[in-house]
Amino acid sequence: MRTAAFLLALAASTAPALAADRPNILFIMSDDHAAHAISAYGSRVNVTPNIDRLAREGMRLDNVFVTNSICTPSRAAILTGQYSHVNGVPVFNRFDSSRQTVAKLLQAGGYHTGMIGKWHLGSDPAGFDEWEILPGQGDYFNPVLYTATGEKRYDGRYVTDVLTDLAIGFLEKRPAGKPFFLMWHHKAPHRNWEPDEAHRRQFENRWIPEPPTFWDTYATRTDALRENRQRVADDMTNNDLKRRPPAGLTGPALVKWLSERPAEVTIERSGAPLTLRGEALARWKYQRYMQDYLATIQSVDDGVGRVLDHLDRAGLARNTIVIYTSDQGFFLGDHGMYDKRFMYEESLRMPFLVRWPAGIEAGGTTRAMALNVDFAPTFLEAAGLPVPPDMQGRSLLPVLRGQTPADWRTSMYYRYYHDPGHHNTAAHYGVRTLTHKLIHYWKRDQWELFDLVNDPMEMSNLYGQPGHERVTADLKAELARLKKALGDRDQFSMELPPDGVDGPVSRLRGK
C-alpha cells in the first residue's frame, strides 16, 4: 500500500524532472550596486576580484534590465516574476505576502529555502524555512535583524560581515538530502554609504576618475533631468558627505544640519584651510561619495569570496547556481547624478553574473536582453518545476546554456511611478530595444529618443528631429504593443498606494 501511495503521489507531481541532482540556488543581491562598479564589467573605478570569479567561472550577462528602477518594486518583481502593475508594488508600498512567489514554489517543490539580509517589502517573508532580515533599510553598524521569533542584535558588528556570517551559517546547517535556495541580500552599497573602518581607510585618499558625463548640462533633454534632485553637485547632504557637525550641535538642530546641502565646504589642504565652491566643490563631493560607495562594495566582495570558498570546501560549488546581481543600477556621477529611478542606462542596467559549473560553460558572455522578472522562471526551470502562466518573465536557462531561442525578446517595457517622490524624479515609461530607447514623461507629455548605437551615453535627444520620424513611429507602436501585451491598461491616472516600507511602519512586529 505504501508503495502504491508513493507511486500515486509521484505520478501526481512533476516527478520526472525532480532528479536527485537538482541544483542548489544561491542568489546574491546587493542594493544599488551598479554594473560599472564591478571590474568584470570593465569598471574604471574599482576592482572586485571575488565577484569577478563568477564571470570567469560562469557567464556575464550584459543586457539585464530592471522593469522599475527602485528598491522595493524590483524586489517584488524578482519574487513574483511579474511587473509592478501586476504584483501590486509600484512604489514603496507593502508587499502582500499571501501572493505567489518563487520562494513558496521552490519550498513546496522540495527546496530548503532561506532569506538573509535586506528584504524591504514591509511584510514578513513567506515561503522561507529560515529568514533573518533587516527592518526597512537596516543599519550599517550594530544592526538589528528580525527573525520569525524575535529580534537579534549584533552590537559592535558591521552589517555586511554579519550577513556573510549568516549566509555561511545557513549553508552549514542546511538539512541533508534537500537542495537549497538562499536569497542573500546585502544592504550595501545603499545610501548613505557607511563603510567599515578598514575599507574606509583603503579608499580615503584614493582619487576616483569622474565619468565622462559628469558635467552634463542636459541640453536637448526634457525638463525631467533638469528638475531632478539627485545631483552630486547640489543635492548631497552633510550626512551623505560625512561632514563633522559644528561643536555643540545636538537634537533637532543637529538633525537639521545633517540634512542640509552645503553650498560651500572648508577643507584642510597642505595644513591650511581651503573653502570650496562651485565646480571645485562638486568635484570634492563626487570624491567623497565614491570613496564611501566603493568602500562598502569592497566588504561585499570580501564576503562573496568567503562564501565561494565555503562552497568549494563543502564540495557544493559544482552543482550550485550562484548569481550576483543588484536590485537595480545606480548613477556613479553619470549625468551629474547619484541614485537611480530614471530609465537611462546606468540606472536601468543590473549586473548579472552566474556560475554553475554543472550547467553553464565558463567564461561566456551574452547580449540577450534579460529582465528582473525572468529570475523567478529561471530558478523554477532549473529546479525542474513548472513556471506558472501568470509569471510574466521567461526562463533564462537556454540563454545561459548558449542557446538563445530565435524568438527571444528584442525589446523591453519600463515604467517608473514614484512621482511625487524622492529626488523629484518625474514618472515615466518607455521602451528599450537593442538599438534605441524611447521615454515618455507623461505628465507633461515630453519625450526622449536615443540612438544607443551612436550615442550610448544618451546625451542627444533625437525626438522630433528631422530624419527620425520612422524610428519614432516604430518605437511608439512597440511601446503600445508591449504595454497591452503585459496587461498595463492604466492610462496614467492610477491611484498609487501610499508608501509604507520605510520609517516606523517598516517595524514588522504586530503587523
Residues that bind Ca ion (CB under 5 A): 31-32, 71, 327
Minimum distance from residue 150 beta carbon to Ca ion (Å): 27
CA distances in angstroms from 388 to 9, 65, 101, 361, 413, listed in the order given: 20, 22, 10, 28, 21
Task: Quote the CA–CA distance of 155 and 419 in Å, as a whole number.
Answer: 37
DSSP 504: G
E strand spans, 329-459: 349-350, 352-355, 364-366, 370-371, 411-416, 428-433, 436-441, 446-451
**Cβ proximity to Ca ion, 32 vs 129, nearer residue:** 32
**Cβ proximity to Ca ion, 105 vs 121, nearer residue:** 121
* Contact between 73 and 80 (Cβ < 8 Å): no
Minimum distance from residue 470 beta carbon to Ca ion (Å): 37
**Cβ proximity to Ca ion, 125 vs 189, nearer residue:** 189
Helices (H), 193-319: 197-204, 223-226, 232-235, 251-259, 278-313
Point out which residues pair with 502 in neighbouring strands.
none
Minimum distance from residue 75 beta carbon to Ca ion (Å): 8
Q: Give yes or no for a cis peptide into 405 (omega within 30° of 0).
A: no
**Cβ proximity to Ca ion, 105 vs 353, nearer residue:** 353
DSSP 158: B
**Cβ proximity to Ca ion, 339 vs 374, nearer residue:** 339
Minimum distance from residue 402 beta carbon to Ca ion (Å): 30
Angle at 316 between CA 311 and CA 322, to 5 degrees: 70
Minimum distance from residue 463 beta carbon to Ca ion (Å): 29
Minimum distance from residue 423 beta carbon to Ca ion (Å): 13
Residue closest to Ca ion (Cβ): 71
* Contact between 368 and 59 (Cβ < 8 Å): no
**Cβ proximity to Ca ion, 191 vs 483, nearer residue:** 191
Kindly state the helix (H) or strand (E) to which residue 269 belongs, with its residue range: strand 265-269
Minimum distance from residue 69 beta carbon to Ca ion (Å): 8
**Cβ proximity to Ca ion, 71 vs 89, nearer residue:** 71
